[in-house]
Structure 1
Amino acid sequence: MSSPGRRRIDEIGDESRRRILDAAEELFAERGFDRTSFVDIAERSGISRGSIPWHFKNKDGLVIAVLQRAMDRYMGPEQYAEAFPTLAEVVLDYRKWAESDNSALIFMVLAEAMGNTGDVHSQYQEFLGRRRAGVELWLRAQRPARADPAAAAKQEHAVAVALQGAVLGIHLQALIDPDGVDLDGALQSLATLVDRNVADVWVPPDKPAKKRRKKNPG
């Protein structure tokens, strides 16, 4: 049943968009970005070729939408709406995404973005920025009250960049060398390191963090 105020034409549009995304995700995984055309997607989805740019403007917009939807299955905002996640929970969700059939999409789009100064480049920047913002939000929730907001925000951004780079690096290694990389172990080790040192995020750069004193075994 249609929700109040929602027109049938909107529902038809949503269904068309879903079918296009389903077909594109399958074809990108099977053939790659370059070898998939709007004609291929139209044939697989049963939606006319002319409707695809109406929904997604161009192929670059479509591939970003495919990537975003695929990742949101495992790390969508609605998953964290009721309770703020721990880093261990976020890492577990990322592992599920990394082990999915289409997680290589994130690197396929990255390769396309690096050789492109158009829409896919700017949209991939935005995609990465949204993911970093999630990490910064997680850090901000733990920020001590005494921290200077401007300095803390700068440090949180730097940590988010580093953490995102580390996660992507682990993911890429696992895709290329699945037998040589323990994806779960590496991600859990990263989460442990961050949890253990998260208090040092807000230490001013000119004041090195105090070394933890070793407990005297005696």
Structure 2
Amino acid sequence: MTSAGRRRIDEIGDESRRRILDAAEELFAERGFERTSFVDVAERSGISRGSIPWHFKNKDGLLIAVLDRAMDRFMDPEQYHQALPTLATLLEDYRRWVASGNSALMFMVLTEAMHSAGTVHQQYEEFLGQRRQGVQRWLRAHRPAGVDPAAATERERAVAAALNGAVIGIHLQALIEPDGVDLDAALQSLAGFVDDNLTDLWKEPAKDKTRRAPGKGTRSRKRAG
């Protein structure tokens, strides 16, 4: 096969994949994961049902692919390779994704992952791991010179988990209670808090110098008499 022919096949494959993802994203948003079948996706996309598992293996794989693409639409890692973004920029991109209307997909996948020990659980675990690693790379780029790499890596890993959890928590609250949670203000507050305390991340934690006197504060002492 000529290179032109191979290129044409690849283009057809990419187009089929895009149409399947477009249809699945719409259907998941309209009906939910459980009520959407490969037949539904095939009818909506105009692509044969047999092509869907060829591209995505199974329904779980399709769901993860939809979520990945939905996030990359606003937070594609490639766009950050030219220059290190500020945390405010990263959170603003996340805010735009939440505002796009399809961000509930993250929690749809989470629900499936929590009730499964199979593919979707493993893929969601990888998805969250990739997001934490992205935060770790951002933190590592701000690491001061002379800091012990091993100790710094442990702290950065913990902070990445905490920051990722905070963002997801704010996101979930805004979806459930949009009138009670100001998404913009909450994300800006988080960015400001991290920026204000970023230099303290790599400092050695202060040792607790307080010592409790033996027997003090316990309730085990018998009453006199």
Runs of 4+ residues over 4 Å off in structure 1: 3-6
SS in 2 for 1:7: helix
1-structure distance, mates of 2:62, 2:201: 37
Q: Residue 215 of structure 1 aligns with which residue?
A: none
Q: Residue 203 of structure 2 aligns with which residue?
A: 203
2-structure distance, mates of 1:66, 1:115: 19
Q: Residue 162 of structure 2 aligns with which residue?
A: 162
Q: Is 2:77 aligned against 1:77?
A: yes
Alignment of 1:116-135 (within 5 A): 116-135=116-135
Alignment of 1:185-200 (within 5 A): 185-200=185-200
- The amino acid that maps onto 1:95 is R
The Cα shift of 1:6 comes to 5.0
2-structure distance, mates of 1:4, 1:206: 64
Worse-superposed segment, 153-162 or 7-16: 7-16
2-structure distance, mates of 1:195, 1:7: 47
The Cα shift of 1:10 comes to 1.0
> How high is the TM-score relative to the length of structure 2?
0.89
The Cα shift of 1:206 comes to 5.3
Query: Structure 2, unaligned stretches of length 5 or more?
Result: 209-225
Query: Can you list the C-alpha shifts for 1:112-150, whole angstroms capped at 9, x where unaligned?
Result: 000000000000010011111110001000101111101
1-structure distance, mates of 2:108, 2:7: 36
Q: Residue 211 of structure 1 aligns with which residue?
A: none
The Cα shift of 1:207 comes to 4.9
The alignment of Structure 1 onto Structure 2 pairs a total of residues equal to: 206
Q: Residue 90 of structure 1 aligns with which residue?
A: 90
Worse-superposed segment, 74-83 or 135-144: 74-83
- The amino acid that maps onto 1:110 is L
Query: Can you list the C-alpha shifts for 1:152-188, whole angstroms capped at 9, x where unaligned?
Result: 0010000000000000000000000000000000000
Alignment of 1:148-187 (within 5 A): 148-187=148-187
CA 1:186–1:12: 2 relative to 1, 3 Å: same
SS in 2 for 1:202: coil
- The amino acid that maps onto 1:151 is A
2-structure distance, mates of 1:191, 1:11: 41
**CA RMSD, 1 decimal:** 1.4
Q: Residue 110 of structure 1 aligns with which residue?
A: 110
- The amino acid that maps onto 2:93 is D
Query: Can you list the C-alpha shifts for 1:95-124, whole angstroms capped at 9, x where unaligned?
Result: 001111100000010010000000000000
The Cα shift of 1:35 comes to 0.5
- The amino acid that maps onto 1:111 is T
Q: Residue 218 of structure 2 aligns with which residue?
A: none
Query: Structure 1, unaligned stretches of length 5 or more?
Result: 209-218
